[in-house]
Amino acid sequence: MKEKLQDAIRRRPLLGDGAMGTQLMLAGLEPGNCGEAWNLTHPALVLAIQRRYAEAGSDCILTNTFGGSRIMLNRHSHAGEVVEINQAAVAIAREAFAGRPGYAIGDIGPFGGLMEPYGDFTEAQVREAFEEQAGALVDAGADAILIETQTSLEELTLGIQAAKQAGAPCIIGSMAFDVTLDGSTFRTMMGIDPERAAECMQEQGADIVALNCGTGMDMERARQAVVRYKRVTDLPVMAQPNAGHPKLVEMKVIYDETAQQMVRGVVPLLEAGVNILGACCGSSPEHIRAFRSAMDEFSRSKGLWGSGARNENQTV
């Protein structure tokens, strides 16, 4: 029987994957179109992206379902395909490992709006959307559910509760922090600091606390967030920082940190105690391959097991 993700990462750090949206656009997805629908219409292209991450050394791959809730899919006239899109995504992520050990993490992003009284969506609508998506991902065999890029505790809580109701074997809550204008600290768009976020995730029953994306959240800021999480919780920590800062080049958004630059932050993050390390906006299989080498060297130096992606005799 496969070891649960939350148990495996207490023995050694695992490597996540990188950005999906930018890779889909490189594969031909038009900006503003529904990348999640590609799980049904262009599965081979989605598989090719995720297989490149697996071949680069990822132990964990996120499903292509960031915008896979009914509320998000409705904006692209795909609300009637919620279950099919999410379940196809789990199958594709699993296939990307090509029979090697690995974890398929069901990805649930923000519902893309504001709840009452600040917006038009009721709590019941958001809860129902998350429950439907989480149920589809768990039924398809996802090893974990990730509620990611969250900025409010209310939406985060609804996502975690939906994953619990679906019977997710592992639940990850992930916040998106922004560095303040004076550079002194970081908090979410809704004013939530890392300590309060971690406390909320633990209170709600998450198995792993995480951070991803966010303005200015590079490798060093991610390390600081990991340290701040660990001040208030003993839960494992996952980090997916951006590949530097976005810049507009020839009408295209380009992130400015190369794999060689970004990898310098890997060991400091591992020393801070990160349990799953991946990357977010602007990253690529090249970044993940560099992470793999640095993580393997770190593991060898600490006497830990090597990569699950490269050690065929290891079960993860």
For residue 311, pLDDT over 60 is answered with no
Reduced to 3 DSSP states, what percent helix, strand and coil does the chain have, rounded to the nearest 5? 45, 15, 40
Written as one letter, the residue type at 184 is: S
Answer whether residue 309 is part of any domain. Answer: no
Phi-psi region of 57 (alpha: psi -120 to 50; beta: other; left: phi over 0): left
**How far apart (Å, rounded) are the C-alpha atoms in residues 159 and 110?**
9
Answer whether residue 243 is part of any domain. Answer: yes
Mean pLDDT in residue range 173-185: 96
- Determine the pLDDT at residue 312: 36
Answer whether residue 310 is part of any domain. Answer: no
Q: Which residue has the tokens 């619990």?
A: 164
Answer whether residue 315 is part of any domain. Answer: no
**Band of pLDDT at residue 286, cut at 50, 70 and 90:** very high
For residue 68, pLDDT over 90 is answered with yes
Answer whether residue 80 is part of any domain. Answer: yes
Taking the alpha carbons of 99, 287, 150, 236 in that order, is the dihedral positive or negative? positive
Answer whether residue 52 is part of any domain. Answer: yes
**Band of pLDDT at residue 256, cut at 50, 70 and 90:** confident
Answer whether residue 298 is part of any domain. Answer: yes
Whole-number Cα distances in Å, 8 to 49, 124, 186, 300 = 25, 35, 30, 17
- Determine the pLDDT at residue 315: 31
Mean pLDDT in residue range 168-191: 97
- Determine the pLDDT at residue 76: 97
For residue 307, pLDDT over 60 is answered with no
Specify the number of domains making up the chain: 1
Range of the domain at 163: 5-302
Mean pLDDT in residue range 104-125: 95
**Band of pLDDT at residue 305, cut at 50, 70 and 90:** low
Read off the CATH number of the domain in which 226 is found: 3.20.20.330
Which tokens hold the place of 177?
Answer: 């922090």
- Determine the pLDDT at residue 251: 65
Q: What is the DSSP letter of 312?
A: T
Per-residue pLDDT tens digits for 16-56: 999 999 899 999 999 899 999 999 999 999 999 999 999 99
Answer whether residue 196 is part of any domain. Answer: yes
